[in-house]
Amino acid sequence: MNRSWTRYLLPLVIIAVAVAIAMAMLRNRSELPRREREAPIPLVDVMAVRPGPVAITILSQGTVRAKREIDLVSEVSGRVIEVAPELQEGAQVPGGTPLLQIDPIDYEVAVSDAKAAVAAAEFALAEVTAILKRAAIDEAEARLEASRDRLRQAETDLANTGISAPFDAVIDQQHVDLGQYVQTGMSLMHLLGTDHVEVRLPILAPDVPYLRPGRRPDGTWAPVRLTAQFGSLEQTWQGRQLRLEERVDDETRVFYLVAEVEKPYDTSIHSQPLQVGLFVQAAVQGGTIENATVIPRSALHNGDQVFLVEQGRLRLQDVNVKRREANNVIIGESLSPGDLLVLSRLDLMVDGMPVSVKES
- Per-residue pLDDT tens digits for 138-181: 777 888 888 888 989 989 989 989 999 999 999 999 999 999 99
Residue 318 DSSP class: E
Each residue's pLDDT tens digit, 74-113: 999 999 999 999 999 999 999 999 999 999 999 899 888 8
DSSP state of 217: T
Q: Is 6 exposed, middle or buried (0-12, 13-18, 19+ CB in 10 A)?
A: exposed
Amino acid at 174: Q
Q: Is residue 28 packed enough to be buried (19+ CB in 10 Å), middle (13-18) or exposed (0-12)?
A: exposed
Output the pLDDT for position 18: 65
CA distance 113 to 117: 6
Q: Which CATH architecture has domain 44-55+290-359?
A: Beta Barrel (2.40)
How far from 228 is each of 193, 233, 274, 347, CA to CA, in Å? 21, 9, 9, 41
Are the C-beta atoms of residues 287 and 300 closer than 8 Å to each other?
no
Report how far Cα 360 is from the mean position of its chain's Cα atoms: 34
Q: Return all residues near 353 (Cβ < 8 A) that are at least 6 apart.
A: 42, 313, 314
Taking the mean position of all CA atoms in its chain, how far away is CA 190?
26
CB 74 within 8 A of CB 182: yes
Q: pLDDT of 204-223, one tens digit each?
A: 998 999 998 988 888 899 99
CA distances from 107 to 39, 96, 151, 162, 179 (A): 102, 22, 11, 12, 18
How many other CB atoms are found less than 10 A from the CB of residue 219?
6
Cα–Cα nearest to 240, from 262, 219, 259: 259
User: CA-based angle 306:352:300, to the nearest 5?
Assistant: 10
Q: What is the pLDDT of residue 20?
A: 66
Per-residue pLDDT band at 132 (split at 50, 70, 90): low
31-45, 49-63, 289-303: which has the minimum mean pLDDT?
A: 31-45
Name the residue with higher pLDDT: 326 or 183.
Answer: 183
Residue 48 pLDDT class (50, 70, 90 cuts): very high
Q: How far apart are CA 272 and CA 261, in angstroms?
A: 13
Residue 28, pLDDT score = 66
Q: Rounded CA gap, 159 and 156, in Å?
A: 5
CA distance 236 to 292: 29
Can you give the pLDDT at residue 120? 84
- What value, to the nearest 5°, has the Cα angle with vertex 251 and ends 250 and 253? 65
Q: Which CATH class is domain 58-66+194-288?
A: mainly beta
Q: In the CATH scheme, what architecture does the domain 70-103+161-193 have?
A: Beta Barrel (2.40)
Sequence-distant (6+) residues with CB within 8 A of 276 are 64, 65, 66, 170, 172, 192, 197
